[in-house]
Amino acid sequence: MIILAVLILALDQLTKSIVVRSLSPNDSAPVIKGIFHLTLIHNRGAAFGILQNHVFLFALTACFAIVLILINLKKIRFEKRFSLQKLSLGLIMAGAAGNLIDRLRLGFVIDFLDFRIWPVFNIADSAITIGAILLCWAFFREPKTLK
């Protein structure tokens, strides 16, 4: 799962770098007009832009989450080769690390995926969301393996 997390982290940082070089803040480029755009946003808050300008709080929370995930992954590394729990934790860790890098380096998170009916987000946000959904699914599917 560490390899998956590193790949997702690399994809997140690469896509953010490409968008930053291609667009100015708040600029938008349609990919599918009216449906999907690339829109560069500097998000200084949490999900949906709430709690603006709390960089230290978000950085501390991300560090805490990453440490907890690494501890949990270490505990379950000798269990079966693949598990939904490992996958979900790897996704959440990659997403938390991707947004943490932005916050520490820039003071904000780079968001750019704009479906026009949802707030603008990024690859890291997607990994966190998918990981959280899978973790909930794993909890209901394999409740005795989650501790």
The Cα–Cα gap between 130 and 123 comes to 10
The Cα–Cα gap between 144 and 18 comes to 43
How confident is the model over 53-69, as pLDDT tens digits? 666 667 777 877 888 87
What integer is the mean pLDDT of 1-26?
A: 94
Largest CA distance in the chain: 49
Percent of the chain at pLDDT > 90 equals 54
**Alpha helix (H) ranges present in 1-147?**
2-22, 55-76, 84-106, 123-141
18 CB-near residues (< 8 Å, 6+ apart): none
Mean of the per-residue pLDDT values for the chain? 85
Percent of the chain at pLDDT > 70 equals 80
- Look at strands 109-114 and 36-43 and give their pairing: antiparallel
Which among 12, 102, 114, 125 is annotated as catalytic? 125
**Contact (Cβ atoms closer than 8 angstroms) between residue 26 and residue 39:** yes
Does the pLDDT value for residue 131 go beyond 70? Answer: yes
Which among 12, 102, 111, 114 is annotated as catalytic? 111
How confident is the model over 82-93, as pLDDT tens digits? 678 888 989 999
Does the pLDDT value for residue 50 go beyond 60? Answer: no
Identify the residue whose tokens are 């978000």: 58
Active-site residue 125, yes or no?
yes
Q: What local confidence, expressed as pLDDT, does residue 23 receive?
A: 97
Domain boundaries, the chain: 53-147
**More reliable by pLDDT, 142 or 109:** 109
Question: Closest by alpha carbon to 125, among 71, 58, 64, 78?
Answer: 58
What integer is the mean pLDDT of 6-11?
A: 96
Nearest 5°: phi and psi at 46? -95, -155
Does the pLDDT value for residue 11 go beyond 70? Answer: yes
Q: What local confidence, expressed as pLDDT, does residue 49 receive?
A: 57
